[in-house]
Amino acid sequence: MRKIEARFLLISLIMLGMLAIMPHVIAQTEEMFEFSHDENSEIEPYSNTWHAQTFTPQTSHDLTKIILHGKKYGNPTDFIVSIKETNIDGLPTGDDLVSKSILASSIPTEFGEITIVFDTQISLTAGTKYAIVFRCPDGDGLNKPSIQFYDLSAYPRGDWAESADSGATWTIDGVADFWFEEWGYAPATPSMGNTLFPFLPILGLALGISFVTLFFMIIAYVSNKQLIIPYEMIFIPLFCVISVCVSLLIIVIFGL
Ligand SMILES: [Ca+2]
């Protein structure tokens, strides 16, 4: 009996652990939000010449990284990518909301992806226009990044922008768009999964014990041996039923 009890306790704990971890794993899926995947031209942001691509998220989310398409000439230092708000004219404005400087070694020598992972995540609001600003203030004509864009409009919710005075003033090119991707995490929204979440561990434990008990009952029946079950175990299936009923009640009442 001691062996049997230890086994179903262990299996139940494993099931409980898996069910408790699962919602967190699902909630942490990083996804791509706004993007433009066309390119047929390149331009080099260096010295006082800065470039930007504005974009408007359709879904609020926490930004984690930006991917651009480009390469490097020579050995450019301090390639900086930041996110800024935009003003009423859709031009980059204000301080950086978040910024990251990447090493020249992170930039390929042939055209490819340049990934900029920010150290902190910022929240972007759906319907608000932001700007991805990129510059290489210490670069020169021989040491510079080159970023690819498409010279016909490829992205409808933002524009290609350029500054010749280190971001003091900007002009919009309403035709071109840079190749870009912006990635992040969607905020947790109420859903049936979230409503059930507080009940999942207890549901998992109850189901685990119930199934394992049933398994050993069948084994005991087949081998004609007696299996003594503590009377408290009749509450376990009851827990299951109560958990599911309460979850469904919350879903029906609050529409979550
Ligand atoms: Ca555009």
Q: How many other C-beta atoms lie within 10 A of the C-beta of residue 179?
A: 24
Q: Identify whether residues 61 and 171 lie together within a single domain.
A: yes
Ligand 1 mean position to 217 CA, how many Å? 67
Residue 22's domain comprises 2-27+190-254
Specify the amino acid at residue 221: Y
Does the pLDDT of residue 213 top 80, yes or no?
no
Number of domains in the chain: 2
Residue 184 tokens read as 């992040």
Residue 206 tokens read as 């109850």
Ligand 1 mean position to 244 CA, how many Å? 49
Q: Identify whether residues 125 and 245 lie together within a single domain.
A: no
Q: DSSP for 128-142? A: --EEEEEE-TT--SS
**70 with 146: CB under 8 angstroms?**
yes
Q: Identify whether residues 225 and 105 lie together within a single domain.
A: no
Ligand 1 mean position to 140 CA, how many Å? 28
Does the pLDDT of residue 97 top 50, yes or no?
yes
What is d(CA 133, CA 123) in angstroms, rounded to the nearest whole number? Answer: 17
Ligand 1 mean position to 139 CA, how many Å? 27
What is d(CA 255, CA 247) in angstroms, rounded to the nearest whole number? Answer: 11
pTM over 0.75: no
Residue 142: Cβ-neighbour burial (10 angstroms; 0-12, 13-18, 19+): exposed
Q: Identify whether residues 21 and 58 lie together within a single domain.
A: no
Over residues 133-143, mean pLDDT: 95
User: For residue 25, what pLDDT is reported?
Assistant: 44
